[in-house]
Structure 1
């Protein structure tokens, strides 16, 4: 008799992803609000036994190498299911790209010696390219102000890509859980 365990519990999953066509065209890259998407090719639960685990990793890594594509990667993530593992790697990719874009926006303004307030879209880390005198002006200028985060650009406060990632993650959490009204925090 075969038994099936339907209880979801966290485990390690091995995920093969393809980042080749995250953006399909230059127009897609430039379109406002377009978030690059990672394609998940294969997901499987990692074996529990160390020997099986090593053999499983070697087999999947070999498949990635045999494919001969530089856009394929093998990742290991902790998740509750196959679908959750796929969602985790897609989310990490989107946040990473948004953080890089946000850091580029900040660096561009800092290199030009600008000071002021900027509006950054939470979903993709991009901005409208404008600097504003204060947060209210930045907020008022946005078509969808609730989808942005607002902060001051100053050479006294440099932002790293990691800081951008943490900020976007916090803003995403606040939007999802109702802690923000029109792009501004409502809970502490």
Structure 2
């Protein structure tokens, strides 16, 4: 008997059901003393599991759960003094709690198709009901974090079983958006 590949504790038994008109809520870090709290107005978009080596993952998770929200919908409510940017050179300016390490939000501030969006980890919401993940991104990147490449077939099969189409980049819709943004920025007109 083979053991099922564990993707993420919030995903392994199926994603939590989405609540109609989820209005957002408060993300909370893992600290028991003075937790960082960040308010998100509205639901998340483009929620997915991510295999990249930069996203925060809870202990034992192979993938992160990450989505985006408009930057103007993010407000630090409490204990913002505990936040620091993980890598100031990175596209996503991930603000993490300096005590527990949880990434609370990550704005894209420089010129990029995702400028004006913040990356968040919806599993940190106090309330449930946010839009569930719909795909898996940067799947091969888990090899860069030490995962055995010979087991990648099992990972992709498990993601497919969980109805999370696996990609080694972003979803086709997001890749089309990036390409369209780039074409527009460089003056390339779309051809019919």
**Interval of TM-score (by shorter of Structure 1 and Structure 2):** under 0.3
Q: Based on CA coordinates, which of the two structures has the bigger radius of gyration?
A: 1
Q: TM-score, normalised by structure 1?
A: 0.22
| Greater RCO structure (CA 8 Å; 6+ sep) | 2
Q: TM-score, normalised by structure 2?
A: 0.22
